[in-house]
Amino acid sequence: MSRPAKKSAQKVAVSIPDALFRAIERERARSGLSRSAVVQEALQAWLHRGARAQLVREYEGGYRALPESEHEVTAALQAAAAAWSEDAEPW
């Protein structure tokens, strides 16, 4: 019979200012989360923000490399004006 796979984890020691530690402990106690859960959640959010920021940079870079033509801008403005006009069919 095989054993279930064990999730590996790493222990990390960090130093944080006393005031930040106390604020985290108050919120952690209120929420009922463990310190590990709080740190994991914060690090996952930090990684997510970094990945999202990278996507935005790539998106903006694409527009800088190949900006919309004057014709495309005019067409988009006309489509928006038509969609918002009082003559447009209601949704």
- Report pLDDT digits (tens) over 31-41: 999 999 999 99
Q: Is the pLDDT of residue 47 over 90?
A: yes
| 8 A C-beta contact, residue 88 and residue 82 | yes
Domain range enclosing 51 = 18-84
Q: How many domains does the chain have?
A: 1
Per-residue confidence band for 42, with pLDDT thresholds at 50, 70 and 90: very high
The length of the chain is: 91
- Reported pTM: 0.64
What does the pLDDT read at residue 41?
97
Burial class (CB in 10 A: 0-12, 13-18, 19+), 8: exposed
How does pLDDT run across 8-32, given as a tens digit for each residue?
999 999 999 999 999 999 999 999 9
> If you count DSSP H runs as helices and E runs as strands, how many of each does the chain have, helices first?
3, 0
